[in-house]
Amino acid sequence: MSDLDQLPVAVIGAGPVGLAAAAHLHERALPYTVLEAGDGAGAAVRQWAHVRVFSPWRYNIDPAARRLLDEAGWVAPDLEALPTGADLVENYLQPLANLPQLKPHLRYGARVEAISRLGYDRLRTTGRENAPFLLRLTDGQEILARAVIDASGTWDTPNVLGASGLPAQGQTDAAAHLEHALPDVLGTDRARFAGRHTLVVGAGHSAANTLLSLAELASAVPGTEVTWAIRSLSPTRTYGGGDADALPARGALGARLRAHVDAGHIRLLTGFSVHAITPTDGRVAVTVRRGDAQEQVTVDRIVAATGFRPDHAIAAELRLDLDPIMGATRALAPLIDPNEHSCGTVPPHGVDELAHPEPGYYAVGMKSYGRAPTFLMATGYEQTRSVVAALAGDWQAARDVRLELPETGVCSSNPVDSVSGGLLTTPLNLVDTDEPASGQTGGCCGS
């Protein structure tokens, strides 16, 4: 065994996919450490604790994690039930993180600031593959690792609100009126929406979840108005597969949303492209472009449900080969292209498709998908299993990738000619993009 092999594998993120990596590394008897920026397991999931995912428990539990939990006497939830984000943390992620096999290897409050190779910048080649990875934390600590599994997700890097991939003009000045995706409209955030006019921008499942909550609030609180804006010319993709959806809750989500729009409870604006945002008299004026015309919509709050994008800045000194469109690896990009695939039709993939020119570095989970909105948690679990098998030298298992996903429903972006919005299979099965369909969220995410 080389000196490099004696170092731990560094896992970034203690969300569903990061903890799955820990479980597989434990089973393979590989040393590892999990670095989590938050104060506990599932920190990103806790941000949408009130949201119910549309995939049942059976799609949201990693097999290796399940084996460890079962050995500890864990009582599994009803595998056909639909968990909330809070359920996922309390009944799965936290018990998993508390297992004595995993707990000593988890570090909280450990945010990774940069990753490099010890003694090597991106330009140096000779001997590079034998140099350990160097991970620098924001507090200045440095950690050496034999490999890096980046399961940090995309929750902290939402897409911008403006069109053309650029922030809307004035977006920073109007920050007090803007909301991240999936606010708790009927709970802790209720006061910010009750009796006010809210504009929800995005065509994904996170947008749908928020719209349904706002419609419920409007029925209870006079003066509450709801406007939904999408860049596409039709909301068909958001409405999804209906009764034909393999995930009934996902189909029902779109059907309920359509009913509210048809009844006039939600005002729908199509072909809507945000150009500028201007605070005015305690409200905010949104200047939009609809074709060649320009108009204004004045509201109190804006919910930007426009999806997420990966941040590869921490790996700037590594040699990454990213698809210029998707931001995923070049090998993975065509397999997850939202113009060709929904989240249920993405083919099985593993270590070979996730590999970069930098040996030993892998982004898994939601981050691996770049800007594609087709991610489901089960996909991240199989990615992780394959990567860990490869790190253990078991290439036969690493390349024997298998994946069973529920088909139908919309988990893809709209084509450019009908410009789409933000999908949400939700951060767990909840994935949002610039604008496809994505609360009930899916069983997505990875961090």
Q: Within the chain, which residue ranges are assigned CATH 3.50.50.60?
A: 4-156+308-414, 163-304
Contact 193, 224 (CB under 8 A): yes
Contact 251, 239 (CB under 8 A): no
**According to the model, what pLDDT value does residue 55 have?**
83
% residues pLDDT > 90 (the chain): 72
Q: Higher model confidence: residue 69 or residue 428?
A: 69
Average model confidence (pLDDT) for the chain? 87
pLDDT band for position 338 (50/70/90)? Answer: confident
Cβ neighbors of 407 (< 8 A, separation 6 or more) are 246, 342, 344, 345
Q: What is the pLDDT of residues 78-108, one digit of tens each?
A: 999 999 999 999 999 999 999 999 999 999 9
SS3 call for 437 = strand
Closest CA to 161 of 273, 289, 44: 273
pLDDT band for position 250 (50/70/90)? Answer: low
Q: What is the pLDDT of residues 297-315, one digit of tens each?
A: 999 999 999 989 999 999 9
Integer angstrom CA distances of residue 371 from 75, 99, 432: 36, 34, 9
The answer to whether residue 318 scores a pLDDT higher than 90 is yes
**According to the model, what pLDDT value does residue 406 have?**
65
The answer to whether residue 435 scores a pLDDT higher than 60 is no
Fold for 4-156+308-414, please state it.
Answer: FAD/NAD(P)-binding domain (3.50.50)
Cβ neighbors of 262 (< 8 A, separation 6 or more) are none
The answer to whether residue 72 scores a pLDDT higher than 90 is yes
pLDDT (mean) for 125-141 = 96
Distance CA 196, CA 173 (A): 20
Q: What is the pLDDT of residues 196-226, one digit of tens each?
A: 999 999 988 889 999 999 999 999 999 999 9
210-243: buried (b, 16+ CB within 10 Å) or exposed (e) per residue?
Answer: bbbbbbebbeeeeebbbbbbbbbeebebbbbbbe
Q: What is the pLDDT of residues 369-413, one digit of tens each?
A: 999 888 889 999 999 999 999 999 999 999 999 988 765 443 433
The CATH number corresponding to 163-304 among 3.40.50.300, 3.40.50.720, 1.20.1440.230, 3.50.50.60 equals 3.50.50.60
Amino acid at 153: G
The answer to whether residue 327 scores a pLDDT higher than 50 is yes
pLDDT band for position 242 (50/70/90)? Answer: low
